């Protein structure tokens, strides 16, 4: 079977993740909203998972998690593990149980963006015993979650376009 | 559940997670080769994009900077009568060659900011120099305007910097005017305004607005007399009513693009008498 388009699609996803990593980490490039910048790689991995089966979805989740973790620290950690698992199950759910629709995508995007960022906040700030946790959350993380979610909507349409344009028939 | 675990996909997921965990454990126990490889591969791209945006400022920023510069010029004129203030201002205008000239024991290494941590509230960043350039963990990071932070982690080609706005940093500090000592450390609320706290000072301390806070040199992490900032307010802790001074850095830490790492200096690593 000719899988040429699938390979092109995977290359396109990989380039997308690389571009988003650069956009996310380059100083003074993305505008801040209420002092926060979005974590673009989270919705990117989630929206790719809507259109791919569980194994490719898992690997794109793994790649996004590695970029998120290793971009700022020397250790593979929270995002590598959580995005690998999340993307695997999103891929599985959308392959076997749910139909991809805009509303489903919105709901999953909101749930996973908020869930993963809040979990990260809990591990990095609350459980780490840092002070002023409510201040951090209200002044940095709420805006970050909303900003990330809104970018996720755009990434949903981008990945839908890539999937439809580069699909083996 | 058993059916799911026996599927090929589930086995691949479990194998992948096992590999991730093994690599994470190896990395955490002092062998961060994945991180080093990642940073080696992405450093070039990050450097190019960071250079591209280095001088980029929008109209509002330029306007604000212009206002700030005007204000600073006015302040400078009024400060001419005050020797201490002149000295502090001179310190702000240090250039790196001057820094080296006045501190021949300093081994300095200029570096550029190539990444900002989007998911961290204390403005930590990554610079484009690592252990191959002689940088090691805990080296002080400064600019001509004072201390920025310290090297938190290092690999061959890049290093992560924790800023003085972070509560993870605790630097021994002294009020240049009164000689009173304390500790400078960050907090969420102050960090947002480019400020940090000079705490653990005596209840009767005579620290006041306008005083310049410098490093004490105690502890061997920072050399003595590096500028941390200027006192802008005196406050009391909500919990234990302890007195502390709010210190504003002379450097715009959120947007700094070029820094200097002090890779070596006299008494580095030596704990002076009186240190905790």
User: Per-residue pLDDT tens for B183-192?
Assistant: 999 888 888 8
Q: Among partner residues B27, B125, B257, which is closest to A74 by beta-carbon distance?
A: B27
On whether the CB atoms of residues B89 and B230 are closer than 8 A, the answer is: no
Residue B59: predicted pLDDT? 67
User: What does the pLDDT look like over A25-41, one tens digit per residue?
Assistant: 887 778 888 778 889 99
Which of B119, B128, B157 should be substituted to probe chain A, the one whose Cβ sees the most A Cβ atoms within 10 Å?
B119
Average pLDDT over residues B150-159: 88
pTM of the model: 0.72
CATH code, domain carrying B168: 2.40.10.340
Residue B275: predicted pLDDT? 42
Average pLDDT over residues B244-258: 89
- 3-state secondary structure string across chain B: CHHHHCCHHHHHHHHHHHHHHHHHHHHHCCCCHHHHHHHHHHHHHHHHHHHHHHCCCCHHHHHHHHHHHHHHHHHHHHHCCCHHHHHHHHHHCCCHHHHHHHCCCCEEEEEEEEEECCCCCCCCEEECCCHHHCCCCCCEEEECCEEEEEEEEECCCCEEEEECCCCCCEEEEEECCCCCEEEEECCHHHHCCCEEEEECCCCCCCCCCCCEEEECCCCCCCCCCCEEEEEEEEEECCCCCCEEEEEECCCCHHHCCEEEEEEECCCCCCCCCCCC
Instruction: With a cut of 90, say whether residue B231 has pLDDT above it.
Output: yes
Number of domains forming the structure of chain B: 2
Its domain, for residue B37, covers: 2-54
Are residue B211 and residue B236 in the same domain, yes or no? yes
Are residue B73 and residue B210 in the same domain, yes or no? yes
Average pLDDT over residues B18-46: 77
User: At A84, is the secondary structure helix, strand, or coil?
Assistant: helix
- Chain B nearest-CA distance from A35, in A, is 8
Q: Which CATH class is domain A4-165?
A: mainly alpha
- 3-state secondary structure string across A88-155: HHHHHHHHHCCCCCHHHHHHHHHHHHHHHHHHHHHHHHHCCCCCCHHHHHHHHHHHHHHHHHHHHHHH
Buried b / exposed e across B115-126, counting CB within 10 Å, b at 16+? bbbbbbbbbbbb
Residue A51: predicted pLDDT? 94
Percent of chain B with pLDDT over 90: 16
On whether the CB atoms of residues A143 and A34 are closer than 8 A, the answer is: yes
Instruction: With a cut of 90, say whether residue A50 has pLDDT above it.
Output: yes
Q: Please give the Cα distance from A73 to A60 (Å, whole number).
A: 20
Instruction: With a cut of 80, say whether residue A46 has pLDDT above it.
Output: yes
Q: Among partner residues A24, A26, A74, which is closest to B155 by beta-carbon distance?
A: A74
User: Is A144's CB within 8 Å of B119's CB?
Assistant: yes
User: Is A72's CB within 8 Å of B115's CB?
Assistant: yes
The one-character DSSP state at A52 is S
Residue B276: predicted pLDDT? 40
Residue B274: predicted pLDDT? 47
Are residue B23 and residue B126 in the same domain, yes or no? no
Q: Please give the Cα distance from A127 to A16 (Å, whole number).
A: 33
Q: Which of the four pLDDT bands, split at 50, 70 and 90, describes residue A159?
A: very high
Instruction: Select the more confidently predicted residue: B254 or B275.
Output: B254
Average pLDDT over residues A127-133: 79
Which of A35, A71, A80 should be substituted to probe chain B, the one whose Cβ sees the most B Cβ atoms within 10 Å?
A71
Last residue of a domain, one of B13, B33, B54: B54
Nearest-Cα residue of chain A relative to residue B32: A74
User: Is B113's CB within 8 Å of A27's CB?
Assistant: yes
R_g of chain A computed on alpha carbons? 16
Segments making up each domain of chain A, as ranges = 4-165
Helix axes A54-70, A4-25, angle to 10 degrees: 20
Are residue B37 and residue B145 in the same domain, yes or no? no
User: Is A75's CB within 8 Å of B24's CB?
Assistant: yes
Structure tokens, A116: 């993963």
- Chain B nearest-CA distance from A141, in A, is 9
Are residue B84 and residue B112 in the same domain, yes or no? yes
Average pLDDT over residues A52-65: 94
Are residue B41 and residue B176 in the same domain, yes or no? no
Are residue B87 and residue B201 in the same domain, yes or no? yes
User: Is A27's CB within 8 Å of B125's CB?
Assistant: yes
Which of B80-84, B97-101, B260-264 is the least confident region? B80-84
Instruction: With a cut of 60, say whether residue B81 has pLDDT above it.
Output: no
Residue B235: predicted pLDDT? 86
- Chain A nearest-CA distance from B234, in A, is 19
Q: Please give the Cα distance from B13 to A88 (Å, whole number).
A: 8
Q: Please list, in sequence order, all residues whose beta carbon lies within 8 angstroms of the beta carbon of residue B35, skipping any fewer than 6 positions away.
A: A70, A73, A74, A75, A76, B27, B155
Instruction: With a cut of 60, say whether residue B138 has pLDDT above it.
Output: yes
Instruction: With a cut of 90, say whether residue B104 has pLDDT above it.
Output: no
CB contact B170 to A (< 8 Å): no
Instruction: Select the more confidently predicted residue: A145 or B221.
Output: A145
Average pLDDT over residues B143-162: 89
Are residue B144 and residue B42 in the same domain, yes or no? no
User: What does the pLDDT look like over A62-84, one tens digit per residue?
Assistant: 999 999 888 777 677 889 999 99
Residue A158: predicted pLDDT? 95
């Amino acid at each position: 079977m000719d899988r040429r388009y699938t390979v092109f699609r995977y290359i396109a996803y990989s380039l997308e993740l690389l571009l988003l990593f650069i956009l996310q980490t380059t100083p003074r490039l993305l505008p801040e909203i209420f002092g926060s910048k979005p974590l673009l790689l989270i919705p990117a991995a989630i929206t790719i998972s809507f259109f791919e089966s569980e194994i490719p979805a898992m690997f794109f989740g793994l790649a996004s998690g590695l970029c998120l973790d290793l971009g700022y620290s020397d250790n593979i950690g929270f995002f590598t593990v959580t995005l690998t698992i999340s993307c695997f199950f999103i891929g599985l759910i959308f392959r076997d149980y749910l139909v991809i629709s805009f509303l489903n995508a919105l709901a999953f995007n909101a749930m996973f963006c908020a869930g993963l960022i809040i979990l990260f906040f809990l591990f990095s700030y609350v459980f780490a015993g840092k002070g002023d946790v409510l201040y951090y959350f209200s002044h940095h993380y709420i805006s970050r979650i909303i900003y990330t979610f809104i970018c996720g909507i755009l990434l949903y349409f981008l990945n839908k376009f890539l999937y439809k344009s580069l699909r083996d028939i | 559940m058993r059916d799911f675990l026996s599927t090929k996909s589930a086995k691949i997921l479990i194998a992948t997670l096992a590999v991730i965990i093994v690599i994470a454990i190896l990395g955490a126990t002092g062998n961060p080769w994945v991180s080093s490889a990642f940073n080696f591969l992405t450093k070039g791209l990050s450097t190019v994009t960071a250079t591209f945006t280095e001088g980029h400022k929008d109209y509002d920023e330029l306007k604000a900077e212009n206002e700030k510069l005007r204000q600073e010029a006015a302040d400078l004129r009024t400060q001419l009568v005050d020797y201490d203030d002149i000295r502090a201002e001179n310190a702000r205008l240090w250039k790196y060659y001057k820094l080296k000239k006045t501190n021949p024991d300093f081994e300095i290494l200029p570096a550029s900011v190539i990444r900002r941590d989007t998911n961290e509230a204390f403005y930590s960043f990554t610079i484009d120099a690592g252990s191959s350039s002689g940088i090691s963990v805990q080296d002080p990071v400064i600019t001509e305007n004072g201390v920025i932070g310290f090297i938190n982690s290092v690999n061959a080609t890049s290093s992560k910097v924790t800023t003085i706005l972070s509560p993870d940093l605790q630097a021994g500090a002294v009020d240049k005017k009164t000689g009173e000592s304390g500790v400078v450390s960050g907090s969420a609320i102050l960090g947002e305004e480019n400020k940090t706290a000079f705490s653990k000072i005596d209840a009767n301390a005579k620290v006041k607005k306008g005083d310049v806070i410098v490093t004490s040199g105690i502890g061997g992490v920072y050399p003595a007399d590096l500028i941390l900032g200027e006192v802008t307010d005196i406050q009391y802790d909500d919990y234990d009513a302890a007195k502390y001074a709010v210190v504003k850095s002379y450097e715009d830490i959120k947007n700094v693009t070029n820094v200097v790492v002090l890779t070596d200096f006299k008494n580095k690593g030596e704990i002076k008498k009186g240190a905790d």
